[in-house]
Structures are given as C-alpha cells and as structure tokens.
Structure 1
Amino acid sequence: MNTRPNVLYIMADQFHADCLGIAGRQVRTPQLDQLAHEGVMFKQAYCNNPICAPSRTTFITGQYPHTHGILGNDIYEMNDRNEHTLSAMFRRTGYQTALIGKSHMIGAWDREGFEYLRYCDLCDCDRNDPLQNHYFKYLHDLGIANLYDLGTMKPEHPGSRVRAFESMIPEQHSLETWTGDETLQFLKNRDERRPFFAHMSFQRPHEPYTVPFDSGLLYDPDSIQLPSGVIDLFERKFAGKPEIMRKLADTFGGMPYIPESEADLRRQLAFYYSLITRIDEQIGRVLDHLRQTGEYYNTTIIFTSDHGDFAGDHGMVNKNIGIYESIHRIPFILKYPGGPSGLMKAGIMESVDMFPTLCELCEVPIPDGIDGRSLKPVIEENLPGKLYTVCEWSSPRYEVNVNAIRTDRYRLVYYGQGEGELYDHANDPDELDNCFTDPVYTTVRLQLQEQLIDHINQYHTKSSTAKSKAVSLKSRNTMTRMVHTGQRNWDEIKHLYR
C-alpha cells in the first residue's frame, strides 16, 4: 500500500493574486478559499518571469531564467533533454506522473517527465498536426473544431483585439470542463500501487476572456467594483511612467487591453472573473474525488499561477507591458499532510522555491543546481521571507531584457539606458508615482540596481525573443499555426490534413 504523499500541482494561467474570495476581491472561489483555510497561503509569492513558457520552466526546474536560459515562448520543439525536471525526478522515484492541460514547456521534457499527457494548448503539439493536440482532437471528433477560439481571432471576430466575447463552444465541452474531466479520468484509472504526481494546468483565465454561450456570464458587469489603481489610466493617463506606457493611454484594445471606458473595463472583468469561478468549480470536482476516495489527506496540493494579469489595476487587463505588482505577484496556496492549516504567511517567496519544497515533502532527492529553497522550514520554523525577488524578461515590446527587483518595500523595474520605474509600496501600493528620477530616492535606486545586476549578470540563453520570432516565422504557414493565430479556421484547411 502506498504511504508516500501524492502531489496535485494545480496551475492557472495569468491569475491575479488578489482574484480569490479570501484575498479580498468580489470573485467567488469557494474551493480555493477552503484549500487556503486548510493549508498555507503565501501573501507575497512572486514569479521569476512574467510570460508563460519561461515562467513554467522556472517552476519545473527550480532555476532562475538566467540559469535555465529559457526566455522565449516558442520552445516546444527544442531538442534539449533534461533529466532533472521536477516531473522527471518524481517519475524516477516511483511516482505515476501526469500532465493534464497546458504545458507550454519543452516537449522532450514533458515526454521524459510525464508518463501520461493530455494537452489542451496548441502550443503543445506538432506544428504541422493540430490533431495531435488532445483538446483540439476532442473538438474535432465532436464535429466542432471549427468553433475553436482560443488563439488569435480574425479581425471580424467579436473577440478580435483581445476583447471579451461569448464562445460558441458549449459549457460541457469548454476548456475548463475538459480539464476537469481529463484530470478525473486520470485519477479514476491510475495505478493505486504508486503515489501520483498530477499537474492539473488550466490554460486560462489567460485571454481570450470568454464564457460559453449556453451558460453566460456569472457576474453582472455593472456590479463590478474597480480597483483604486484604475485612475492611472482614466485620470492620470500614465503620467510619470515611461513613454511607451504613455502612448498606450489613448490606444483602445490590443495587448495589454486598454479599455475605452470604465464600463468596458467592468465588462472585461466580468468575463475574467467568470473564468476564474469556472476554474474553481473544476478544482472542486477533483478535490471532492480525492475526499471520496480517502486520498485527500495524503495529498500535497499546490495552487499557483505562472504569472499575473492587470485585472483592472492601472486601468488595464492582460499583460505584456512593464513588470508591475499585478503581473509579478502570484497566488500560492500549499496544503500538505501534517502541515499547518489556516496560516497566512507573510514574507517573499518565489516560483523557484516550489521545486525543492515538493521534493522535501515527498522525500525526492533535490538535484544540484537548484536556485530555490524549500518552504517547509520557512513554514514550520517561522523563518523570514527572502530579502528580495527578481523577475527577468526578454521583452519583444522593448527589444531589450527588462528586469525587476521587489523588496518588502520597493519595486524597481529597469529597462536599460538609464530608464526605469521605482515604486515605494509604503506610500504607493498601487504603483502610481514613479520615483525613478526623484533625487530623494537616488540612494535606494542605486542600491536596488546594484542588487539587480549582481543577481542577473550571468545569462545563458537557450530561447530568447529573437529566437522565438525566428521559429514563429519559419512555422507561420503550418496547419497548427494557422489555426492558432487566426489565419484560417479548421473547415478552411482540414482538406489538406493527411
């Protein structure tokens, strides 16, 4: 009989850390709130990269981006074996490993680390064969692949320019329901002689923000309470921020999404919150199954996100501009057998810390080269948080590497060439007043810049923005890419499929 703890590693994509009922916003997340009541919730958890693939690579390697070298998003087909990913370590030590949902990591790593794979994102399949993707194949077999709407929309589509819209895919076949169904399918048919390591990875609430046409919105847009930081756009027009931000002030749509009015922003948030509540419902189905089978109290459960979303902060939604608190900070809930319950833990922790934490909790060897530290002694011995955390980004918008450092009080974002942003959270939690050139903060700015440079001065890049752009250009006319980027829908090209 298995006595080692199981692991349920739940990740949502682009989840604002405050968009939990327990964290204060008006979002309904009863399942995640209950999980927090039964475990530990870290109030100052941060990702180490603000976009999907590099951040996910950080979680699965326990290494900072400047260590693992992945800074671009187009990495699935990289031929780069790694026998020391978190999933590979667990698989080699007797765990039955599974990934259900979005990976957005190197495919070879997935195949080595996970013996059971069920992909939902078209980033995770052969560029010439979208039917290798399990969710797209599922829609195809139902005869509704032409309704696929999880990539870039055509200009005439109601969801073009990243606007929220109603999906024509019914709720029973929605991405959220599929992820819940497939996770339950794995758990019900797993090898009970072994503990499981299941990565349940939701592709959303990453845009596009959609709701199924047959069930609709779960929130009334008119009742959405906007965060105080909306004044950054609607009143201040990003005053004091870098020029690239100020140019967005009069730009509707795009990425990030700049709403045309507060009513438009409320509508976007009503869709975003609806996705979160539906994700919470699917998590609840899985947790109920674990309770019914008696495995719940022998399972280490983590809920987190690869990065955040503006979710109304600064008047915007989505991401891909700057490295603000909304994007850098992530939710992080940890429940483990024998661990404390109802603990709200202050102090900085990072995504690199998840790897050694799970290894220590499950008696899995920690390989050399890990940058994180285990959270178990932090929790049980009440150790302080880290002095700072760093977020590293190879940004196509800035055409340079952008980096941020966050201490308990300050955030510094440095764009190079003497340009940056500095916020004092003691006086400005909404990050409205840029103090980068304020002489009062000169000493603080220089100290933070030195810490930042010391942290990231060794880059070993395997995937950068430039490399991702080259890969994307090379594969732009492949079948998978055409469906994913809105160039063609399935009915227009399926006759070419062999």
Structure 2
Amino acid sequence: MTKQPNILYIMSDDHSAEAISCYGSRLSSVFRTPNLDRLAEEGVRMNSFFSTNSICTPARASIMTGQYGHINGVRTLSDSWRPDRGPNLARELQSHGYETALFGKWHLHCEPEGFDDYSYLTGFGGQGSYQNPEFQSKGQPVRCHEGYVTDLITDMTVHWLEQRSSGKPFFLMCHHKAPHDFWEYADRHEALFDGIHIPAPDSLFEDRSHRSEASRDYGSSVTPRSNVRSLYEDFCAPDYVTGPLQGTEEMTFEQKGMAAYQKYLKDYLRTVAAIDDSIGRLLDCLEALGELDDTIIVYTSDQGMFLGEHDYQDKRWSYEESLRAPLIIRYPRSIPAQSVCDELMANIDMAPTLLDYAGLPIPATMQGTTQRAVIESRSDVPVRTSVYFRYWMHLAHRHDNPAHYGIRTRQYKLIFYYGLPLDASGAIDRPTPPGWELYDLTSDPYELNNVYGDPAYADVTHRLKEELHQLKQHYRDTDDPYPELVLRAQGK
C-alpha cells in the first residue's frame, strides 16, 4: 500500500501574490521571498487560484468545507462555522488515521473540531495581536505568550513536529496572522527598506469614470478605510504602532497619498519577511526529521490584498488583486519541480484536492472538485472553465463595500453589483445602485477599462450572463429569498 503523504498547510492572512517574488510583480525588484521562492522552484506555482468570497472568515470556512458560504452558513465576518454540520476537512483526515493539529489564526468563531491538538489566537475578534498574543490551547485556559506572533506560531508548529511519535501521517495547519492590518513587523526587519523607494502601481490614482455607478463612487465617503490615501490619518497618529508618518504637512494631496503608500507597503512587506523566515524554518525542520519529501507543503492565503492597486488597501472587492490568492505546492513524489499552472482553481477545491492526495473519499456534499491532475501538469484532464464568486458583507455591515457576485473565466470577469443592505427580516434597508462590469483580462489585466455595454462585447456579455445563471443554479445560490435582486439582475 502506498504511504499516505503528510500535509503541511500554511496559510497567511491577506497575503497578496504580488508580495511573493516568484510571482514576478513590480515589487520583486525591491523585495525577495527566498524561502517561498524555493517552494515554487521545487513544486508548482498556481497563477489562477481564487477565493470565492474575498473576506477572511467565509474564505476559511470554504477551505475547510469545500462549500460556498450560502451552504456552510458562513457568508460574513460575523457568522460562526458549525464544524459538526456538513463536511470538515480536518475531521475527514482524522477519522481516516491522520494525526491532526492547528496553530495560529483560526477566526471561525468556534472551537476547532477534528484536531488532536491546537492553539489558536484569541482577542480582537479572533485576529489576535502581533506582540505578546494570547492563545487558546486545547483543554487549557487562554494564555499570553511573549514574543512576535509569526515566530510564536512557527515555534508551536516546529515543536509539534519534533515531539510527535505516533507514526501516523499528519495533517498540520500553520495559520499566520500576518500580514493582516495593522502591520507590526519584527524588530529584525526594521531597516529592511532603508533608502528604498517602493514602485507604485499605475492604478494608484485610478480614474474610475469607466466603472459602473455601483462601484466608482465607493470611496472615502462610504468606506473610509478602503483607500490607500485614507491610511494617511492613521499613519500620522503620534501613537501609530510602527511610528508616525512625519514631514508631510506641506505636501500636496497626491504627495501625501504617495507617502502613505510608501509606509503602507514597507510595513506590510516587513511582516511578510517574517513569514518567509517561517517557511525556511519549517523546511529545515521537515528536512531534519526526514519528512520533507513525504510531505505535501501548501502555501496560500485566505484571499488576496490590495497593495495600492485602484487606490485600495484591504480586500472585499472582486478585482484581481483581492480575489486572487497565492498558491504554491511542493510534493516531489508527484508534482514536477519548477511547474507553473495557469488553470483556474477555487478555494472550494482545496479540501477535495487534499483528500484526493490522501487517497480518501470526497464527500458528495463538497461543492469543489479535486484539482490534483491539474496541479500535477497532467495533460488531457478536465479543467475549470470558470469560478463563481460572491461577496455578502452587506448583511453584516451596512456601510461596507457593495454586495456583488460574478464569474471569472480564463479571459473575462463579469461582476454584478446589487448592494441591497438588508435588515434582519430580509427587507431592503438602504438601496444602492446596481451595476454590471466586464473586464477583458487578456487586453486589460489590471481591470482599468470596463467594457460592459460596448457593442464589441455584446456576444461575450450574453454568454457570460448565461454561464453565470447556470453556475448559480449549479451551486444552489438562486436568490429566491431576494426577488428585487433578481429583478435588478434582469435589468428591470
């Protein structure tokens, strides 16, 4: 019988693929991630891995269940996962002989279920703190641990690996808090960007007149923390966590925006540097234990992150930098080294894929599909032609970004914004403008030209709307409770 592989699943929070040097973004000229690059060099870099809901808690629930939020019950940051209901990746592996553990950020508002051991961050709504964070360990009271959070999570993960003696294959989740805001870095990275200017994206001060009414006017007046320039006031506070931004009083509005961008990126990338250090430690540990090549190592994030693109920070929109997450997988037993895969994959595919690698049955209630053959660069295998996504946060925060759903194919992205903040009874509380946006990602990879309504794209638009409707039926997300939403989608 073939030995079941170990699985080390490493996930950060809000880590943009743009901030990993092997992805080759504008940032790779000033920032390197050698240990993450090593994973890609020895495995596969997935270029088109997407979160189906670009916000932390729902994304994490989809990874654990292989289901969309409207099925697993986790659509917003406020929803709690019920791991005893429906599929649970950890429980599936545990019940089939895997030793299971979790260390770091959990953020599903429930006790982890299906894990033999765990210590997860508490406080700040499940975010935890960067310095001297508190952890809830299995069967223990909450306890403060002295040190920097990324290093502590790595310490716990390494210690568990070194102390285990069961002989079983393991499923180990190492979940970093970084690089979630606000970006407190380790002291050792203080001087990392001294004298360095971080390249800015061309869309830092985007003219949004091409957008639909539904998205173009959402800025500082509606979602105060969505813009890079809105960080300026946070950064100027005398008690800001990494020190205040100074010497900007006489600057123009645009100059202040650029100064905020430089501080944002430097602090953010410093927190990523500690994650890269962690990857190196974990690789060294597995190698010393003789487990490296018998372990599937996954590195990903719960979703992407805007690093100034479209004048945004945070996530919550479904433009590429937010919807796309990094995904790197090393497993030399079956994944060719130096592989690059452009095929579509969704986070609901993660649980089925890992179960496939473990040689275990995939529950019929999982909506994702295994992508093992695609990851392994096999030819003549079915591939995803599209990813359906949906953002639900209007249900929890009425002043959040507008609610929307859409479809992402290899070449196009179609987004329907409908807003419709709802009260507890499901009634419309504060209608917002509906609108469609269509992007041709081949000619416009940075989504700066909304071509919805362009006659040249009429056939494409019709075809994508038909496919979007089919996907909503397939995934049982039909909007039957929201008749006005359906009318808006039909243009009535």
Bin of the TM-score, shorter chain as denominator length: 0.7 to 0.9
Q: Secondary structure at the match of 2:413?
A: strand
In 2, Cα distance between the equivalents of 1:95 and 1:179?
A: 21
Distance of 1:200 and 1:347 partners within structure 2: 26
Q: Does 1:176 align with 2:150?
A: yes
Within a 5 Å distance, the mapping from 1:367-378 to structure 2 comes to: 367-378=363-374
SS of equivalent residue, structure 1 residue 326: helix
TM-score (norm 2): 0.78
Aligned with 2:393 (options 392, 395, 401)? 395
CA 80–296 in structure 1, closer or farther in 2 if over 3 Å, else same: closer
Residue of structure 1 in register with 2:161 after alignment: 187
From 44, 50, 60, the counterpart of 2:48: 44
Q: Is the 8 A contact 2:213 2:435 kept in 1?
A: no
Query: Structure 1's 347 and 72: CA in aligned 2 closer, same or farther, altered over 3 A?
Result: same
SS in 1 for 2:306: coil
- Say if 2:121 and 2:135, in contact at 8 Å, map to a contact too: no
Deviates more, 1:444-453 or 1:338-347: 444-453
1:261 is the counterpart of 2:257 = yes
Matched residue of 2:185: which SS? Answer: strand
Q: Is the 1:307–1:329 Cα contact (8 Å) retained in structure 2?
A: yes
Distance 2:453 2:444 in 1: 16
- 1:411 maps to which residue? 413
CA-CA distance at 1:95 after TM superposition: 0.9
Return the offset for 1:290: 0.3
Q: Secondary structure at the match of 2:340?
A: strand
1:286 CA displacement = 1.1
Deviation at 1:302, TM superposition (A): 0.7
Does the 8 Å contact 2:42/2:332 carry over to 1? no
Task: Please list, as runs of the form range in 1=range in 2, the aligned pairs for 1:456-471 lying within 5 A after superposition.
Answer: 456-457=472-473, 458-459=476-477
- Does residue 1:98 correspond to 2:85, yes or no? no
The alignment partner of 1:210 has SS state of: coil
**Alignment pair present for 1:441 and 2:439:** no
Query: Which runs of 5 or more residues in structure 1 are unaligned?
Result: 143-172, 462-498
> Taking structure 1 as reference, are residues 2 and 433 closer, same or farther at Cα in structure 2, changes over 3 Å only?
closer
After the TM superposition, which residues 133-152 of structure 1 pair with which residues of structure 2 at under 5 Å, given as runs?
133=136, 137-139=142-144
Residue matched to 1:16? 16
Judge conservation of contact 1:347–1:386 (CA < 8 Å) in 2: yes
Identity %: 30
- Call closer, same or farther: CA 1:218–1:347 in 2, change over 3 Å: same
| Contact 2:215–2:402 under 8 Å retained in 1 | no
Q: In 2 relative to 1, CA 206–376 (structure 1 residues): closer, same or farther, beyond 3 Å?
A: same
Instruction: Answer yes or no: is the 8 Å Cα contact 1:68–1:460 preserved in 2.
Output: no
For 1:430, which of 424, 446, 449 is the aligned residue? 446
Corresponding position of 1:57? 61
Alignment of 1:86-485 (within 5 A): 86-105=89-108, 107-108=110-111, 110=112, 112-122=113-123, 123-124=125-126, 133=136, 137-139=142-144, 173-212=147-186, 215-220=189-194, 222-232=196-206, 236=207, 238-243=208-213, 245-247=215-217, 254-259=224-229, 260-320=256-316, 322-339=317-334, 340-378=336-374, 379-382=376-379, 383=381, 385-396=383-394, 397=399, 401-416=403-418, 418-457=434-473, 458-459=476-477
**What displacement does 1:35 show?**
0.5
Change (3 A) 1:251 1:269: farther
The amino acid across from 1:33 in the alignment is D
TM-score normalised according to structure 1 size: 0.77
1:214–1:301 Cα change, 3 Å: closer
Q: Distance in 1 between matches of 2:134 and 2:343?
A: 45
Q: CA deviation at 1:107?
A: 1.9
Whether the aligned pair in 1 keeps the contact of 2:220 and 2:227 (CA below 8 Å) is: no
Cα pair distance change 1:4/1:384, threshold 3 Å: closer
Give RMSD over aligned pairs: 2.9
Q: How far does residue 400 in structure 1 lie from its aligned partner after superposition?
A: 6.5
Structure 1 pair 381–125 and aligned structure 2 pair: CA distance change class (3 A): closer
Cα distance in 2 for residues equivalent to 1:328 and 1:125: 21
Q: Which amino acid aligns with 1:97?
A: T
- The alpha carbon displacement at 1:454 in A equals 2.4
Deviates more, 1:19-28 or 1:211-220: 211-220
Give the CA deviation at 1:66: 3.5
Aligned length: 419
In structure 2, distance between residues paired with 1:137 and 1:366: 35
- Higher helix proportion: 1
Which piece of structure 1 moves more, 411-420 or 181-190? Answer: 411-420
Deviation at 1:420, TM superposition (A): 2.0
Please point out which of 35, 38, 42 is paired with 1:34. 38
Q: 1:252–1:174: structure 2 CA closer, same or farther, 3 Å change rule?
A: farther
Q: What SS is found at the alignment partner of 1:228?
A: coil
Conserved in 1, the CA contact under 8 Å of 2:412 and 2:441? yes
CA apart distance, 1:81: 1.6
Deviation readout 1:363-403 (Å, 9 max, x if unpaired)? 12211122222222222422364111111110224686411
Mapped partners of 1:80, 1:87: distance in 2: 10
Deviations 1:116-155 (A, max 9, x none): 11112433499xxx9663699553x65xxxxxxxxxxxxx
* 1:80 Cα deviation after fit: 5.8
Aligned position for 2:240: none
